Amino acid sequence: MRTELTYDAPLLELNTFGIQAKARMLLTYDSEASLREALSDIHLHHSDLPMLHIGCGSNLLFLGDYPGIVLRSAIRGIRLLCETPSEVLVEVGAGEVCDDFIAQSIRSGWYGMENLSLIPGQVGAAAVQNIGAYGVEVCDVIHEVKGISLSDGSERIWKRDECGYGYRQSIFKSELWGKYAITRVTFRLSKHFTPMLQYGGLRNVLGQLASDSPQGESPQALGALQLRQAIISIRRAKLPDPKEQGNAGSFFKNPVVGKEVAERLLAEWPEMPHYPAGEGKVKLAAGWLIEQAGWKGRSLGPAAVHDRQALVLVNKGGATGSDIQRLCDAIRKDVGLRFGISLEPEVNFI
């Protein structure tokens, strides 16, 4: 395959919510050259159509059919660019599955991404969303990001500091949204395993796993594999598997509020989870707010709030994007009325 173009393409398999939608065209490319070629063709023959670049569709909600061209990267490849006694720079194709790369990096003795294990999605999308879990964000290990302009095919490279990374935020999600296709991401990984265990609950799970370690691994590799296994079991216990029940992971971002707002809420709900979020800011747990508002496990038609993690909305079967949106609106309204907090979706509505 170089490029593959499908008209009137079903998107069911390309969004983890399992929404039945179609794209006017779906274009999959496997190299920078084939993307450039396809873009020139698009500019000649379909310049009126909008473009949407997707990864595994694990952070998307299709509200209807997409009237334009959906682009999808199949750029593969994991290339060791350079190595010092302490770290490596590894360039990874944007179309690689992120979790497969994490598994392979641990096998290669490259550490730093263990806590991101099992997050669905491709490497390119991970760099766009700044995926994060259990105290680690992918920007912590990104060295640089390469992309190709969708308007003129030129290549651009962003050093990590130029990517505008913040909590679930990047320049690719804001100013540059829709303007570039991310083609490759270079990671800076450590050759020494330093477990990141500050997330409550991780130490306990690791302790339980310590007894049944496989034989013959170096202590470092063993530690990283155990941590990966612990993360995977925590995720499996709390989060629904999109293959079994459509969902897009956390539907909302955790709200970041001023200290005064947090203090006002804590006076009334002293048990409310809260975390420091830099310069007078506090991060609240959207899942807790939604649960307190009475939505955990509740349904609205074929859309529901997951019963083990209220931050996750699920498709019980046959839901449309509008069904999920209706549930989202109802939750936002109730959380707003009860706590005076405005929840922002993490998922992109298309």
Candidate list 15, 31, 226, 250; residue touching ligand EPU; CB under 6 A: 250
Applying CB under 6 A, does 88 fall inside the site for ligand EPU? no
Q: According to the binding rule CB under 6 A, does residue 276 interact with ligand EPU?
A: no
Sequence-distant (≥ 6) Cβ neighbours of residue 263 within 8 angstroms: none
Residue with smaller CB distance to ligand EPU, 56 or 88 = 56
Burial 123-134 (b: 16+ CB within 10 A, else e): bbbbbbbbbbbb
x/- map, 209-248, ligand EPU, by CB under 6 A:
------------------------------x---------
Rank residues 184 and 296 by Cβ distance to ligand EPU and give the closer one.
296
Q: Give the shortest CB-261-to-ligand EPU separation in angstroms.
A: 17
Written as six digits, the tokens of 337 are 């009325």
| Count of other CB atoms within 10 angstroms of residue 45 | 9
Question: Per CB under 6 A, which region of 64-72, 99-107, 283-291, 322-330 contacts ligand EPU?
Answer: 283-291
Contact indicator for 41, 24 with CB cutoff of 8 Å: no
Q: Is 346 a known active-site residue?
A: yes
With contacts defined by CB under 6 A, name the span among 9-17, 23-31, 203-211, 281-289 that binds ligand EPU: 281-289
DSSP state of 32: H
Choice among 168, 188, 235, 298 that is catalytic? 168
Strand partners, 299: 304
Interaction between residue 285 and ligand EPU (CB under 6 A):
yes
Instruction: Please identify, using beta-carbon distances, which residue of 115 and 325 lies nearer to ligand EPU.
Output: 115
**Among 253, 259, 298, 326, interactor with ligand EPU by CB under 6 A:** 253
- Asked whether position 291 contacts ligand EPU by CB under 6 A, the answer is yes
Q: Distance (Å, rounded) from C-alpha 195 to C-alpha 225? A: 11
Any contact of residue 249 with ligand EPU (CB under 6 A)? yes
Phi, psi of 146 (to 5 degrees): -110, 145
What's the CA gap between 114 and 98, in Å, rounded? 11
SS3 325: helix
Residue whose Cβ sits closest to ligand EPU: 249
Residues counted in the chain: 350
Query: Alpha carbon 76 to chain centroid distance?
Result: 19
**Bridge partner residues of 185 (DSSP):** 92, 145
In the complex, the residues that contact ligand EPU under the rule CB under 6 A are 133-134, 199, 239, 249-250, 253-254, 273, 285, 287-288, 291, 296, 309-311, 346
Residues noted as catalytic: 168, 250, 346
